[in-house]
Structure 1
């Protein structure tokens, strides 16, 4: 029998959800937010309760700079301080990227972003 994990939302995740909602309203896709909430409650959270390892390892990415390598080492030490064997993972959804931590029997949803929120806003760098 598979052990069911507890899934908890962090304050940062809740804040990200608010930002996603605002982003979707600004792009005239407000109805998409309801679809996101349904996908989280009907699919993502139940999947993570049963299969917390399903997301790809965030820290297994190759470090392409000294800064990234140092950051990965620091995050690994911090996770091991919390609980040995803790992991940071990514859950790739159709339109969203979700970051979560697996610590013992609990999955903490840390961050979520719409894929289009991950791009650079170059227009803001030039005056109108």
Structure 2
């Protein structure tokens, strides 16, 4: 029987969760954060532990801008320093959230999570006047 992988949250993932909690509080939906945590602990993490390749390969998507092409190249370089598996960076959609994770060896690293509307709500804060 295969050994169950270890799931580790990166510092960036933890910062993202803090940002989501702040975002949901600002839009007056703090209870949604508790729902996200429940979903992560009860469904998402067990799914990823059982089926590490359940998410789509993130870098298989074709970039549509110079900025995205450059960002993807930087991600590929960082990933290749950790593993030869070019499909190791994966995305998992959770209702209104996108989770990036990487199964490397016997460990699954939770790298980033974002609410789909997190950036779009704060036009002035993100782009200024």
TM range (shorter): 0.7 to 0.9
1:52 equivalenced with 2:56 (yes/no) = no
Tell me, which stretches of 5 or more residues in structure 2 are unaligned?
none
Do the aligned partners of residues 122 and 42 (structure 1) sit closer, same or farther apart at CA in structure 2, a change above 3 Å counting? same
Other-structure match for 1:119? 120
Do the aligned partners of residues 20 and 82 (structure 1) sit closer, same or farther apart at CA in structure 2, a change above 3 Å counting? same
Q: CA deviation at 1:117?
A: 0.4
Q: CA deviation at 1:123?
A: 4.1
Other-structure match for 1:10? 10
Q: CA deviation at 1:51?
A: 0.7
Do the aligned partners of residues 22 and 70 (structure 1) sit closer, same or farther apart at CA in structure 2, a change above 3 Å counting? closer
Structure 1 segments of 4+ aligned residues over 6 angstroms from their partners: none
Alignment root-mean-square deviation, CA: 1.9
For residues 5 and 42 of structure 1, what CA distance do their matches in structure 2 show? 16
Aligned residues: 126
> In 2, are the aligned partners of 1:98 and 1:110 still within 8 Å (CA)?
yes
When normalised by structure 2's length, the TM-score is 0.85
When normalised by structure 1's length, the TM-score is 0.86
Tell me, which stretches of 5 or more residues in structure 1 are unaligned?
none
For residues 25 and 71 of structure 2, what CA distance do their matches in structure 1 show? 34
